[in-house]
Amino acid sequence: MQNIKNSLTFKNLLKLKKKGILHPSNCSARAYFDIFDSLGASSLCSDSLFMANAHLWGGWIPLKKYLSPSSSKLFNKKPILALAATEPKTGSDFFGMNTLAKKSRNGWILNGEKTLVTNGTICDHFLVFAKTKHSRDPRELSCFLLDANVSGIKKAEVKKRIGLERTSLANIQFKNVFVPNANIIGDYSLGGEIFQYAMTWERSLIFSYVPSLLEKLSNQILKLAKKRKRTNKAISEHPLFIKKRERIHTIAEDIRELISISATKLDNKENAFFSAIKTKVQVSQKYEEASRLLLQLDGKNSFLHESPFEENFYNSIASSLYSGPNDLLQMVLDEISI
Ligand SMILES: Cc1cc2nc3c(=O)[nH]c(=O)nc-3n(C[C@H](O)[C@H](O)[C@H](O)COP(=O)(O)OP(=O)(O)OC[C@H]3O[C@@H](n4cnc5c(N)ncnc54)[C@H](O)[C@@H]3O)c2cc1C
Protein backbone atom coordinates (compact mmCIF):
# COMPACT_ATOMS: atom_id res chain seq x y z
CA MET A 1 0.00 0.00 0.00
CA GLN A 2 1.23 3.48 -0.93
CA ASN A 3 2.19 5.80 1.93
CA ILE A 4 -1.00 7.86 2.34
CA LYS A 5 1.03 10.99 3.17
CA ASN A 6 2.53 10.89 -0.36
CA SER A 7 -0.77 10.16 -2.03
CA LEU A 8 -3.13 12.23 -4.12
CA THR A 9 -5.83 11.57 -1.50
CA PHE A 10 -3.78 13.41 1.13
CA LYS A 11 -2.92 16.23 -1.29
CA ASN A 12 -6.64 16.63 -1.97
CA LEU A 13 -7.31 16.79 1.75
CA LEU A 14 -4.71 19.55 2.09
CA LYS A 15 -6.41 21.41 -0.79
CA LEU A 16 -9.68 21.36 1.17
CA LYS A 17 -7.77 22.59 4.21
CA LYS A 18 -6.27 25.47 2.19
CA LYS A 19 -9.75 26.48 1.06
CA GLY A 20 -10.81 26.73 4.72
CA ILE A 21 -13.33 23.90 4.41
CA LEU A 22 -11.82 21.78 7.19
CA HIS A 23 -11.89 24.41 9.95
CA PRO A 24 -15.13 26.41 10.03
CA SER A 25 -15.44 28.80 12.98
CA ASN A 26 -19.23 28.50 12.99
CA CYS A 27 -20.54 25.49 11.18
CA SER A 28 -23.91 25.53 9.45
CA ALA A 29 -24.88 21.93 8.74
CA ARG A 30 -26.91 23.02 5.72
CA ALA A 31 -24.00 25.01 4.26
CA TYR A 32 -21.68 22.02 4.76
CA PHE A 33 -24.15 19.67 3.15
CA ASP A 34 -24.23 21.97 0.11
CA ILE A 35 -20.42 22.20 -0.05
CA PHE A 36 -19.93 18.44 0.00
CA ASP A 37 -22.89 17.84 -2.29
CA SER A 38 -21.04 19.83 -4.93
CA LEU A 39 -17.65 18.24 -4.12
CA GLY A 40 -19.07 14.75 -4.75
CA ALA A 41 -19.38 15.67 -8.43
CA SER A 42 -15.82 17.04 -8.61
CA SER A 43 -12.68 15.15 -9.53
CA LEU A 44 -11.78 14.63 -5.84
CA CYS A 45 -11.84 10.95 -4.94
CA SER A 46 -14.32 9.57 -2.38
CA ASP A 47 -11.43 8.70 -0.05
CA SER A 48 -10.40 12.33 0.42
CA LEU A 49 -14.02 13.40 0.93
CA PHE A 50 -14.52 10.60 3.45
CA MET A 51 -11.36 11.65 5.33
CA ALA A 52 -12.48 15.30 5.33
CA ASN A 53 -15.85 14.31 6.78
CA ALA A 54 -14.30 12.07 9.46
CA HIS A 55 -12.05 14.98 10.48
CA LEU A 56 -14.91 17.50 10.57
CA TRP A 57 -17.62 15.58 12.42
CA GLY A 58 -15.47 13.23 14.52
CA GLY A 59 -12.86 15.87 15.36
CA TRP A 60 -13.32 19.55 14.61
CA ILE A 61 -16.98 19.94 15.55
CA PRO A 62 -16.73 18.27 19.01
CA LEU A 63 -13.44 20.08 19.67
CA LYS A 64 -15.01 23.46 18.90
CA LYS A 65 -17.85 22.74 21.30
CA TYR A 66 -15.99 21.16 24.19
CA LEU A 67 -12.41 22.44 24.19
CA SER A 68 -11.90 25.57 26.29
CA PRO A 69 -11.30 28.85 24.41
CA SER A 70 -7.91 29.02 26.18
CA SER A 71 -6.82 26.42 23.63
CA SER A 72 -7.10 28.99 20.86
CA LYS A 73 -3.45 28.32 19.89
CA LEU A 74 -4.46 24.86 18.80
CA PHE A 75 -7.44 26.17 16.84
CA ASN A 76 -5.16 28.65 15.07
CA LYS A 77 -2.89 25.80 13.97
CA LYS A 78 -5.86 24.19 12.20
CA PRO A 79 -4.92 20.57 12.90
CA ILE A 80 -6.20 17.54 11.02
CA LEU A 81 -8.01 15.33 13.50
CA ALA A 82 -8.94 11.69 14.07
CA LEU A 83 -11.45 10.20 16.48
CA ALA A 84 -10.12 7.06 18.17
CA ALA A 85 -12.82 5.01 19.89
CA THR A 86 -13.01 1.54 18.30
CA GLU A 87 -10.80 -1.19 19.74
CA PRO A 88 -9.86 -4.62 18.38
CA LYS A 89 -11.85 -6.42 21.07
CA THR A 90 -14.72 -3.98 21.53
CA GLY A 91 -16.32 -2.29 18.55
CA SER A 92 -19.88 -1.12 18.90
CA ASP A 93 -19.76 -1.69 22.68
CA PHE A 94 -18.43 1.79 23.44
CA PHE A 95 -18.57 1.47 27.23
CA GLY A 96 -16.80 -1.89 27.08
CA MET A 97 -13.55 -0.31 25.84
CA ASN A 98 -10.25 -1.23 27.51
CA THR A 99 -8.01 1.78 26.88
CA LEU A 100 -7.18 3.15 30.31
CA ALA A 101 -6.03 6.56 31.53
CA LYS A 102 -4.39 6.43 34.97
CA LYS A 103 -3.97 9.59 37.05
CA SER A 104 -0.39 10.75 37.48
CA ARG A 105 1.22 13.99 38.62
CA ASN A 106 -0.07 16.87 36.41
CA GLY A 107 -1.86 14.54 34.07
CA TRP A 108 -2.70 11.06 32.92
CA ILE A 109 -0.88 8.00 31.57
CA LEU A 110 -2.67 6.38 28.66
CA ASN A 111 -2.39 2.72 27.65
CA GLY A 112 -4.43 0.85 25.07
CA GLU A 113 -5.09 0.07 21.45
CA LYS A 114 -7.50 1.47 18.85
CA THR A 115 -8.34 0.21 15.39
CA LEU A 116 -9.84 1.44 12.11
CA VAL A 117 -9.10 5.04 13.01
CA THR A 118 -9.81 7.20 9.96
CA ASN A 119 -6.97 9.73 9.42
CA GLY A 120 -4.95 7.79 12.01
CA THR A 121 -1.63 7.93 10.12
CA ILE A 122 -1.93 11.50 8.83
CA CYS A 123 -3.61 13.43 11.64
CA ASP A 124 -1.96 16.07 13.83
CA HIS A 125 -4.09 15.25 16.88
CA PHE A 126 -6.27 12.42 18.14
CA LEU A 127 -9.44 12.64 20.15
CA VAL A 128 -8.89 9.47 22.18
CA PHE A 129 -11.64 7.94 24.29
CA ALA A 130 -10.42 6.14 27.40
CA LYS A 131 -11.67 4.91 30.72
CA THR A 132 -10.42 6.40 33.94
CA LYS A 133 -11.38 3.21 35.84
CA HIS A 134 -12.06 -0.37 34.75
CA SER A 135 -15.84 -0.01 34.97
CA ARG A 136 -18.87 0.47 32.74
CA ASP A 137 -19.81 3.64 34.60
CA PRO A 138 -20.28 6.31 31.90
CA ARG A 139 -18.81 8.92 34.29
CA GLU A 140 -15.48 7.07 34.09
CA LEU A 141 -15.08 7.62 30.37
CA SER A 142 -13.14 10.63 29.14
CA CYS A 143 -12.00 12.16 25.88
CA PHE A 144 -8.34 13.23 25.61
CA LEU A 145 -6.72 15.44 23.03
CA LEU A 146 -3.41 13.92 22.04
CA ASP A 147 -0.63 15.30 19.86
CA ALA A 148 -0.17 12.53 17.28
CA ASN A 149 3.62 12.87 17.43
CA VAL A 150 4.33 12.44 21.15
CA SER A 151 6.35 9.42 22.25
CA GLY A 152 4.57 6.18 23.06
CA ILE A 153 2.20 6.26 20.05
CA LYS A 154 2.60 3.61 17.36
CA LYS A 155 0.60 3.90 14.12
CA ALA A 156 0.15 1.42 11.29
CA GLU A 157 -2.16 1.41 8.28
CA VAL A 158 -4.79 -1.34 8.23
CA LYS A 159 -3.43 -3.13 5.15
CA LYS A 160 -6.13 -5.53 4.02
CA ARG A 161 -9.54 -4.03 3.41
CA ILE A 162 -12.28 -4.31 0.84
CA GLY A 163 -13.03 -0.62 0.37
CA LEU A 164 -11.72 2.91 0.93
CA GLU A 165 -8.32 1.64 -0.10
CA ARG A 166 -6.80 5.11 -0.38
CA THR A 167 -8.09 6.27 2.99
CA SER A 168 -5.86 6.56 6.04
CA LEU A 169 -7.30 3.85 8.32
CA ALA A 170 -5.03 2.93 11.16
CA ASN A 171 -4.31 0.72 14.12
CA ILE A 172 -2.98 2.87 16.95
CA GLN A 173 -1.17 1.73 20.10
CA PHE A 174 -0.72 3.94 23.14
CA LYS A 175 2.04 2.83 25.49
CA ASN A 176 2.50 4.93 28.63
CA VAL A 177 1.58 8.11 26.80
CA PHE A 178 1.58 11.15 29.08
CA VAL A 179 -1.42 13.47 28.65
CA PRO A 180 -1.42 16.79 30.54
CA ASN A 181 -4.53 17.66 32.58
CA ALA A 182 -5.27 20.52 30.20
CA ASN A 183 -5.78 18.02 27.38
CA ILE A 184 -8.97 16.53 28.76
CA ILE A 185 -11.74 17.65 26.45
CA GLY A 186 -14.64 19.14 28.37
CA ASP A 187 -15.06 17.75 31.85
CA TYR A 188 -13.32 14.47 32.68
CA SER A 189 -16.57 12.50 32.80
CA LEU A 190 -17.93 13.77 29.48
CA GLY A 191 -16.51 11.09 27.16
CA GLY A 192 -19.91 9.53 26.43
CA GLU A 193 -21.58 12.88 25.77
CA ILE A 194 -18.78 14.04 23.46
CA PHE A 195 -18.91 10.79 21.49
CA GLN A 196 -22.68 11.08 21.11
CA TYR A 197 -22.37 14.70 19.96
CA ALA A 198 -19.73 13.76 17.38
CA MET A 199 -21.78 10.80 16.13
CA THR A 200 -24.93 12.93 15.76
CA TRP A 201 -23.09 15.29 13.38
CA GLU A 202 -21.26 12.45 11.66
CA ARG A 203 -24.36 10.31 11.09
CA SER A 204 -26.22 13.33 9.74
CA LEU A 205 -23.58 14.63 7.34
CA ILE A 206 -20.94 12.03 6.51
CA PHE A 207 -22.77 11.07 3.29
CA SER A 208 -23.20 14.65 2.03
CA TYR A 209 -20.99 13.96 -1.00
CA VAL A 210 -22.81 10.74 -1.94
CA PRO A 211 -25.82 12.04 -3.97
CA SER A 212 -23.67 13.96 -6.45
CA LEU A 213 -21.11 11.15 -6.50
CA LEU A 214 -23.86 8.70 -7.53
CA GLU A 215 -25.07 11.11 -10.23
CA LYS A 216 -21.50 11.50 -11.50
CA LEU A 217 -21.03 7.73 -11.70
CA SER A 218 -24.43 7.33 -13.36
CA ASN A 219 -23.39 9.81 -16.06
CA GLN A 220 -20.13 7.90 -16.54
CA ILE A 221 -22.02 4.64 -16.99
CA LEU A 222 -24.30 6.32 -19.53
CA LYS A 223 -21.28 7.36 -21.62
CA LEU A 224 -19.98 3.78 -21.57
CA ALA A 225 -23.39 2.30 -22.36
CA LYS A 226 -23.79 4.55 -25.41
CA LYS A 227 -20.75 2.84 -26.92
CA ARG A 228 -21.80 -0.72 -26.11
CA LYS A 229 -24.34 -2.36 -28.43
CA ARG A 230 -26.59 -5.28 -27.46
CA THR A 231 -29.29 -6.64 -29.83
CA ASN A 232 -28.41 -3.91 -32.36
CA LYS A 233 -29.05 -1.07 -29.96
CA ALA A 234 -26.79 0.85 -27.61
CA ILE A 235 -27.30 -0.47 -24.08
CA SER A 236 -28.18 3.09 -23.05
CA GLU A 237 -31.38 2.84 -25.13
CA HIS A 238 -32.69 -0.32 -23.50
CA PRO A 239 -35.65 0.33 -21.15
CA LEU A 240 -34.04 -1.78 -18.40
CA PHE A 241 -30.94 0.42 -18.46
CA ILE A 242 -33.04 3.58 -18.47
CA LYS A 243 -35.13 2.35 -15.53
CA LYS A 244 -32.08 1.45 -13.47
CA ARG A 245 -30.49 4.85 -14.04
CA GLU A 246 -33.74 6.52 -13.08
CA ARG A 247 -33.72 4.54 -9.84
CA ILE A 248 -30.16 5.71 -9.12
CA HIS A 249 -31.19 9.34 -9.59
CA THR A 250 -34.28 8.87 -7.39
CA ILE A 251 -32.03 7.41 -4.70
CA ALA A 252 -29.70 10.42 -4.94
CA GLU A 253 -32.68 12.74 -4.40
CA ASP A 254 -33.99 10.61 -1.48
CA ILE A 255 -30.57 10.80 0.15
CA ARG A 256 -30.55 14.61 -0.24
CA GLU A 257 -33.92 14.80 1.46
CA LEU A 258 -32.87 12.63 4.41
CA ILE A 259 -29.66 14.58 5.00
CA SER A 260 -31.54 17.82 4.64
CA ILE A 261 -33.93 16.89 7.47
CA SER A 262 -31.06 16.14 9.86
CA ALA A 263 -29.10 19.22 8.80
CA THR A 264 -32.11 21.44 9.52
CA LYS A 265 -32.47 19.90 12.99
CA LEU A 266 -28.80 20.51 13.72
CA ASP A 267 -29.00 24.12 12.56
CA ASN A 268 -32.17 24.72 14.59
CA LYS A 269 -30.39 23.23 17.63
CA GLU A 270 -33.15 20.63 17.97
CA ASN A 271 -32.37 17.19 19.36
CA ALA A 272 -31.04 15.46 16.23
CA PHE A 273 -29.86 12.23 17.87
CA PHE A 274 -32.57 9.89 16.51
CA SER A 275 -32.99 11.68 13.22
CA ALA A 276 -29.23 11.33 12.67
CA ILE A 277 -29.43 7.57 13.30
CA LYS A 278 -32.33 7.26 10.87
CA THR A 279 -30.45 9.26 8.25
CA LYS A 280 -27.32 7.16 8.68
CA VAL A 281 -29.12 3.82 8.39
CA GLN A 282 -31.38 4.74 5.47
CA VAL A 283 -28.78 6.66 3.51
CA SER A 284 -26.19 3.88 3.74
CA GLN A 285 -28.80 1.33 2.59
CA LYS A 286 -29.71 3.51 -0.39
CA TYR A 287 -26.04 4.18 -1.14
CA GLU A 288 -25.43 0.44 -1.29
CA GLU A 289 -28.50 -0.19 -3.46
CA ALA A 290 -27.48 2.45 -6.01
CA SER A 291 -23.88 1.24 -5.99
CA ARG A 292 -25.01 -2.32 -6.68
CA LEU A 293 -27.05 -1.06 -9.67
CA LEU A 294 -24.03 0.80 -11.03
CA LEU A 295 -21.90 -2.30 -10.67
CA GLN A 296 -24.43 -4.34 -12.58
CA LEU A 297 -24.80 -1.77 -15.35
CA ASP A 298 -21.07 -1.95 -15.97
CA GLY A 299 -21.45 -5.68 -16.67
CA LYS A 300 -18.36 -7.83 -16.87
CA ASN A 301 -16.03 -4.83 -16.66
CA SER A 302 -16.73 -4.46 -12.97
CA PHE A 303 -15.71 -8.04 -12.45
CA LEU A 304 -12.71 -8.21 -14.75
CA HIS A 305 -10.70 -5.22 -13.62
CA GLU A 306 -10.69 -2.43 -11.14
CA SER A 307 -13.33 0.06 -12.15
CA PRO A 308 -14.74 3.15 -10.42
CA PHE A 309 -18.00 1.23 -10.02
CA GLU A 310 -16.33 -1.67 -8.27
CA GLU A 311 -14.45 0.69 -5.94
CA ASN A 312 -17.63 2.64 -5.21
CA PHE A 313 -19.54 -0.57 -4.47
CA TYR A 314 -17.05 -1.67 -1.81
CA ASN A 315 -16.99 1.83 -0.32
CA SER A 316 -20.76 1.67 0.00
CA ILE A 317 -20.56 -1.63 1.88
CA ALA A 318 -18.29 -0.04 4.49
CA SER A 319 -20.97 2.60 5.07
CA SER A 320 -23.17 0.10 6.90
CA LEU A 321 -20.39 -0.32 9.51
CA TYR A 322 -18.80 3.02 10.28
CA SER A 323 -20.56 5.51 12.60
CA GLY A 324 -22.22 2.45 14.14
CA PRO A 325 -23.39 -0.83 12.55
CA ASN A 326 -26.76 -0.44 10.80
CA ASP A 327 -28.46 -3.40 12.46
CA LEU A 328 -27.67 -2.14 15.97
CA LEU A 329 -28.75 1.39 15.06
CA GLN A 330 -31.97 0.00 13.57
CA MET A 331 -32.67 -1.68 16.93
CA VAL A 332 -32.48 1.76 18.58
CA LEU A 333 -34.97 3.12 16.04
CA ASP A 334 -37.30 0.12 16.50
CA GLU A 335 -37.35 0.68 20.24
CA ILE A 336 -38.68 4.19 19.86
CA SER A 337 -40.59 3.16 16.67
CA ILE A 338 -39.34 6.10 14.59
C1 LIG B 1 -14.30 2.56 6.89
C2 LIG B 1 -14.38 2.59 8.38
C3 LIG B 1 -13.96 3.73 9.06
C4 LIG B 1 -13.98 3.76 10.46
N5 LIG B 1 -13.51 4.87 11.12
C6 LIG B 1 -13.47 4.88 12.47
C7 LIG B 1 -12.90 5.99 13.18
O8 LIG B 1 -12.48 7.00 12.59
N9 LIG B 1 -12.81 5.93 14.53
C10 LIG B 1 -13.28 4.86 15.23
O11 LIG B 1 -13.17 4.85 16.46
N12 LIG B 1 -13.82 3.78 14.60
C13 LIG B 1 -13.92 3.76 13.24
N14 LIG B 1 -14.45 2.67 12.56
C15 LIG B 1 -14.92 1.53 13.33
C16 LIG B 1 -16.43 1.43 13.38
O17 LIG B 1 -16.96 2.48 14.12
C18 LIG B 1 -16.75 0.05 13.96
O19 LIG B 1 -16.51 -0.87 12.93
C20 LIG B 1 -18.16 -0.03 14.43
O21 LIG B 1 -18.30 0.68 15.62
C22 LIG B 1 -18.59 -1.47 14.68
O23 LIG B 1 -17.69 -2.13 15.50
P24 LIG B 1 -17.30 -3.65 15.14
O25 LIG B 1 -16.91 -3.66 13.73
O26 LIG B 1 -16.35 -4.17 16.14
O27 LIG B 1 -18.68 -4.39 15.27
P28 LIG B 1 -19.21 -5.34 16.42
O29 LIG B 1 -19.37 -4.60 17.69
O30 LIG B 1 -18.36 -6.57 16.45
O31 LIG B 1 -20.62 -5.69 15.84
C32 LIG B 1 -20.73 -6.46 14.65
C33 LIG B 1 -22.09 -7.08 14.60
O34 LIG B 1 -22.29 -7.97 15.71
C35 LIG B 1 -23.63 -7.91 16.14
N36 LIG B 1 -23.71 -7.36 17.50
C37 LIG B 1 -22.75 -6.69 18.18
N38 LIG B 1 -23.21 -6.33 19.41
C39 LIG B 1 -24.47 -6.78 19.49
C40 LIG B 1 -25.48 -6.70 20.50
N41 LIG B 1 -25.25 -6.06 21.65
N42 LIG B 1 -26.68 -7.28 20.26
C43 LIG B 1 -26.92 -7.92 19.10
N44 LIG B 1 -26.00 -8.03 18.09
C45 LIG B 1 -24.80 -7.47 18.29
C46 LIG B 1 -24.36 -6.96 15.16
O47 LIG B 1 -24.87 -7.72 14.09
C48 LIG B 1 -23.24 -6.06 14.71
O49 LIG B 1 -23.48 -5.45 13.45
C50 LIG B 1 -14.47 2.62 11.18
C51 LIG B 1 -14.91 1.50 10.48
C52 LIG B 1 -14.87 1.47 9.10
C53 LIG B 1 -15.36 0.24 8.39
Q: How many CB atoms lie within 10 A of CB 187?
A: 13
Domain limits, the chain: 1-28+44-188, 207-335
Do the beta carbons of residue 63 and residue 82 sit within 8 Å?
no
User: In Å, how far from its chain's centre is CA 105?
Assistant: 36
Closest ligand 1 atom, CA of 119?
8
Q: How far is CA 153 from CA 18, 51, 112, 150, 171, in A?
A: 28, 21, 10, 7, 10
Topology annotation, domain 207-335: Butyryl-CoA Dehydrogenase, subunit A; domain 3 (1.20.140)
Does this model's pTM top 0.85? My answer is yes
As assigned by CATH, the class of the 1-28+44-188 domain is mainly beta
Q: Tell me, what amino acid is at 322? A: Y
**81-84 vs 125-131, strand pairing mode:** parallel
pLDDT at 204 over 90: yes
Q: What is the pLDDT of residues 255-290, one digit of tens each?
A: 999 999 999 999 999 999 999 999 999 999 999 999
User: How many angstroms does the Cα of residue 327 sit away from the middle of ligand 1?
Assistant: 10
User: How many angstroms does the Cα of residue 92 sit away from the middle of ligand 1?
Assistant: 5
Q: Can you tell me the distance from the alpha carbon of 261 to that of 277, in angstroms, rounded to the nearest whole number?
A: 12
Closest ligand 1 atom, CA of 129?
11
Q: What is the pLDDT of residues 36-63, one digit of tens each?
A: 999 999 999 999 999 999 999 999 999 9
User: How many angstroms does the Cα of residue 94 sit away from the middle of ligand 1?
Assistant: 10
C-alpha angle 193-199-204 in degrees, rounded to nearest 5:
135
